[in-house]
Structure 1
């Protein structure tokens, strides 16, 4: 599935939403503007061209028309067509790619108390796809209801509903990912999460997942940016943070609980991954 990669934050800004039934013979006019125009067809069909590329948007499908591209109906509807649309403003897509190329499990840098900017993040919208319209039209109907009596108190809710709609659109991309490497990555992530504090051995992982360890490593690194050991350390340091914040256990006791042989190893790894030793982390959290 072809999809658009959009940088976030910020989230897109809502402009308008609508719903209508087009009679046979109706045809979309020609337009070029700096706005995303997303069409959802519940019944019938729309026939749209965008910069010379033709789309037949049939019942149960959606199409994202991009800003600053010329679009128009290249032929009239031949039957009654039930269509929703929503317009929003956002920057142009970073790129267009296949949904199978999106690394959904990629581990993002978590913001901390001393960060002043977010990590780099993206969302992915299908260019055109068959989707489950039922949850989408429920959100669209609520958007239309609020937009018809658009007052200040509804502004935040309208944008939250737009974000919910975009999430449903992204789910259409995510749920169709079928690459083998993504499937192996998920198996590896599940295995490492279940491993907990038990010793890690590549040979044991091979036997459990029925893939060679080198292949498992390539798949995990492709989709998360980490090797199996790095991902396991990521999980264990996350658990150590929670224990430092919520218990009075010593660093040695925490090391044993999360699966490290010694407190010294935990301290070195904790400092490397967070920029401070465990004791300092605990002190700052408790002080806050």
Structure 2
């Protein structure tokens, strides 16, 4: 089957590295069949080709290709290597929420103002394989090291690798909707203290308002104005806890022009007025 598959991890917590190495198969050898191994298995081919399947999906991996196999499924080799094949493998896991979807599905996991949805393609051909080879090599070196700082180095190298895969997927024009939603969210968070209309957002992004709204609804589950309101209210919660500012000042600092309007929205959102919310965190 040829559907494009996407793995989404909501973070934090971040996926974490377990182990890695480089392997060579000679002609006639093949990747072992495994089921429910309990870790994600990432494969990156340097030379030759791997022929792997997971459930009904089959892939032929050539030089520069990356494939991520699930921890809870049966994967197997449907054909031995036809030539010497060199590849890197990385095992990783997450204790957070994750899901696999087809490219046409939006999925249920989304980021918000505090969390991030890491989206990794099930299979991707890297545009810059030399950079990937360097990162994998550094990752293997850190994995073999027993020095005091090796743990931090291998986790950092691994996260760099995930970032490269995430950004590589997002650079594809076919996934522009995710990029649009995140650009809109970034602008709203940077400018939430000021009035922002849909027209202003459209002008900044140079895109139609309806398209921006559709993208944000698909990715974040809310419209741009809803996202802006939620973000402002969350910033107001932080100021109520961390400062002794008046309600009027907090309203102004978080983009609300009228204090009564802010108080009504805050009470509707949290179930209590701002002063009562503050008293919950005030010690006598």
> What corresponds to 1:59 in structure 2?
63
Aligned residues of 2:7 and 2:98 also touching (Cα < 8 A): yes
| Aligned positions, number | 276
1:128-207 aligned within 5 A:
128-131=123-126, 132-150=128-146, 154=150, 158-159=154-155, 161-176=157-172, 178-179=174-175, 181-182=177-178, 184-186=180-182, 188-189=184-185, 192-193=188-189, 196-202=192-198
Shift of 1:277: 3.6
Aligned residues of 1:99 and 1:176 also touching (Cα < 8 A): no
Distance 1:210 1:146 in 2: 44
Is residue 2:57 matched to residue 1:42? no
> What corresponds to 2:35 in structure 1?
33
Cα offsets for 1:59-117 (capped at 9, x unmatched): 11111233431412613243x43311112456997333218846997426x5xxxxxxx
Distance 2:19 2:111 in 1: 33
Change (3 A) 1:135 1:277: farther
Aligned residues of 2:7 and 2:121 also touching (Cα < 8 A): yes
> What corresponds to 2:258 in structure 1?
262
> What corresponds to 1:19 in structure 2?
22
Aligned residues of 1:46 and 1:73 also touching (Cα < 8 A): no
Which one is further off, 185-194 or 219-228?
A: 185-194
Shift of 1:184: 4.9
> What corresponds to 2:76 in structure 1?
71
TM-score relative to the length of structure 1: 0.71
Distance 1:258 1:7 in 2: 27
Unpaired runs of 5+ in structure 1?
111-118
Change (3 A) 1:244 1:30: closer
Aligned residues of 2:51 and 2:79 also touching (Cα < 8 A): yes
Change (3 A) 1:168 1:276: farther
Change (3 A) 1:213 1:260: same
Change (3 A) 1:54 1:207: closer
Aligned residues of 1:99 and 1:177 also touching (Cα < 8 A): no
Aligned residues of 1:104 and 1:174 also touching (Cα < 8 A): no
SS in 2 for 1:168: helix
Cα offsets for 1:34-67 (capped at 9, x unmatched): 2232210123332334446432211111112334
TM-score relative to the length of structure 2: 0.72
Unpaired runs of 5+ in structure 2?
none
SS in 1 for 2:166: helix
Aligned residues of 1:99 and 1:174 also touching (Cα < 8 A): no
SS in 2 for 1:48: strand
Aligned residues of 2:142 and 2:154 also touching (Cα < 8 A): yes
> What corresponds to 1:251 in structure 2?
247
Is residue 2:219 matched to residue 1:223? yes
> What corresponds to 1:107 in structure 2?
112
SS in 2 for 1:231: helix
Which one is further off, 65-74 or 91-100?
A: 91-100
Aligned residues of 2:24 and 2:85 also touching (Cα < 8 A): yes
